[in-house]
């Protein structure tokens, strides 16, 4: 099956609606940036890995639209998703006398996207920004939906704002330079959309997992498109996560415990989410929501994407207890009671609590001895 390489979808949020454009060669094409809010200055925010690869082409494409195009290069990595690095964006804006119409362009993965969005939400009480995601994870998830923010030493993504971009531009060509482990990490977020929302998509991912791992551009185009469609539907119904949007965090509660327990940056976010989905599937089975065959199917798919399906030992004396303690500070926890996103039959997600004994058993089944 072949898919056209250019798609445009809309996130429907009334006056905050915006398009997601998916295709090849978009980043270097000045036409991609027509029709954005008028401004004299633009600031590209990128990092030390991505800027040398793509900032020159983006700068050239933006020049017809802005009198000045500035660039700020952040240090690379989740460990730098903090106040100190965020301040580098404000420094660049103020040093270049950027006014309240300046448009920010987030050129990079989810870390750059989340920080640029948060800077845009707060600089002069809000300036427009555009997402130009360059990782698979950012193209299928983090660039869409307006969650922005930084980490706190006591918790991931604990400081931030809902702030929607003006446009999301997914240039599939940028995925060619991604390390293989980052492709796998992005596939974790692609896979999650199947069990929570669309069994047809889950079947398709299973049939195309080798092509996706090999970065077949047709397969990637469909994966990015369908993922963004599902995310757009969810976010359009529940922008600020009053309820439904939480299903997008399937695997993330366990995954955040892995990331926090090991120290941010040890496992990739997507790797932790992949393993977290296996744990959440086991918990779903323990609650009688899915059968063992479904858990095995999902585990096989996650492994085929090149992701870990065995969790790390976070504490030699009480491993499950350590996971539980870390999950109690998850944003979805209410008064210390953990709320899990579980699979309530293939293609359907639910949110619920679970007895500690069942959670412990799910963790024990998935963790290396």
* Cα distances (Å, whole numbers) of residue 232 to 186, 193, 254, 271, 279: 17, 12, 24, 23, 26
Q: Is 192 in the site for ligand GLY (CB under 6 A)?
A: no
In this chain, which of 80, 81, 147, 256 binds ligand GLY, going by CB under 6 A? Answer: 147
* Catalytic (active site) residue 249: yes
* Catalytic (active site) residue 215: no
In this chain, which of 55, 175, 224, 248 binds ligand GLY, going by CB under 6 A? Answer: 248
Residue nearest to ligand GLY (CB): 248
Tokens found for residue 293: 């065959």
Burial 158-186 (b: 16+ CB within 10 A, else e): eebebbbbbbbbbbbbbbeebeeebbbbb
Burial 196-228 (b: 16+ CB within 10 A, else e): bbbeebbebbeebbeebbeeeeebbbbbbbbbb
Burial degree of 100 (CB within 10 A; 0-12, 13-18, 19+): exposed
* Catalytic (active site) residue 192: no
* Catalytic (active site) residue 147: yes
Q: Which of 264, 287, 20 is nearest to 138 (CA)?
A: 20
Question: Given the complex with ligand GLY, which of 81 and 147 has the nearer CB atom?
Answer: 147
What pairs with residue 9 in β-bridges? 20
| Catalytic hit among 80, 192, 225, 231 | 231
Smallest gap, in angstroms, from Cβ of residue 183 to ligand NAD? 10
Query: Rounded to an integer, what is the distance from CA 295 to the centroid of its chain?
Result: 23
Smallest gap, in angstroms, from Cβ of residue 277 to ligand GLY? 13
| Catalytic hit among 78, 239, 241, 259 | 241
Q: Which of ligand GLY, ligand NAD, none binds 135 (CB below 5-8 Å, type-dependent)?
A: ligand NAD
Q: Is 145 in the site for ligand GLY (CB under 6 A)?
A: yes
Number of separate helices (H) and strands (E) present in the chain? 12, 11
Question: Given the complex with ligand GLY, which of 141 and 259 has the nearer CB atom?
Answer: 141
Interaction pattern, residues 112-141, with ligand GLY; x per rule: CB under 6 A: -----------------------------x
Question: Given the complex with ligand NAD, which of 85 and 319 has the nearer CB atom?
Answer: 85
Smallest gap, in angstroms, from Cβ of residue 77 to ligand NAD? 6
Residues that bind ligand GLY (CB under 6 A): 141, 145, 147, 245, 248-249
């Amino acid at each position: 099956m072949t898919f056209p390489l250019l798609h445009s979808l809309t996130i429907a949020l009334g006056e905050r609606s915006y398009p997601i454009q998916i295709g090849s060669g978009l980043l270097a094409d000045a036409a991609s940036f027509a029709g954005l809010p008028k401004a004299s200055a633009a600031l590209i925010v990128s990092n030390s890995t991505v800027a040398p690869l793509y900032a020159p082409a983006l700068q050239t494409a933006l020049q017809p639209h802005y009198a000045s195009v500035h660039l700020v290069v952040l240090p690379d990595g989740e460990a730098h998703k903090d106040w100190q690095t965020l301040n580098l964006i404000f420094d660049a804006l103020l040093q270049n006398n950027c006014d309240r119409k300046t448009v920010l362009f987030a050129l990079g993965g989810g870390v750059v996207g989340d920080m640029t969005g948060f800077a845009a939400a707060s600089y002069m009480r809000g300036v427009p920004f555009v997402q130009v995601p360059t990782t698979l994870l950012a193209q299928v998830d983090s660039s869409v939906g307006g969650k922005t923010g930084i980490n706190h030493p006591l918790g991931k993504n604990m400081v931030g704002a809902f702030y929607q971009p003006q446009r999301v531009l997914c240039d599939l060509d940028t995925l060619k330079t991604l390390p293989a482990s980052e492709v796998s990490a992005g596939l974790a977020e692609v896979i999650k959309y199947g069990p929570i929302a669309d069994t047809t998509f889950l079947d398709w991912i299973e049939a195309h997992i080798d092509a996706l791992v090999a970065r077949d551009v047709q397969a990637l185009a469909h994966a990015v498109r369908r993922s963004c469609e599902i995310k757009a539907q969810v976010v359009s119904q529940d922008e600020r996560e009053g309820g439904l949007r939480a299903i997008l965090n399937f695997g993330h509660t366990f995954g955040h415990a892995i990331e926090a327990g090991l120290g941010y940056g040890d496992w990739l976010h997507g790797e932790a989410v992949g393993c977290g989905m296996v744990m959440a599937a086991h918990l779903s089975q323990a609650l009688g929501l899915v059968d063992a065959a479904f858990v095995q199917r999902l585990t096989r798919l996650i492994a085929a994407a090149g992701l870990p399906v065995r969790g790390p030992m976070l504490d030699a004396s009480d491993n499950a207890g350590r996971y539980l303690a870390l999950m109690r500070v998850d944003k979805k926890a209410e008064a210390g009671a953990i709320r899990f996103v579980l699979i309530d039959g293939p293609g359907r997600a639910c949110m619920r609590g679970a007895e500690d004994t069942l959670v412990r058993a799910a963790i024990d089944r998935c963790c290396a001895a």
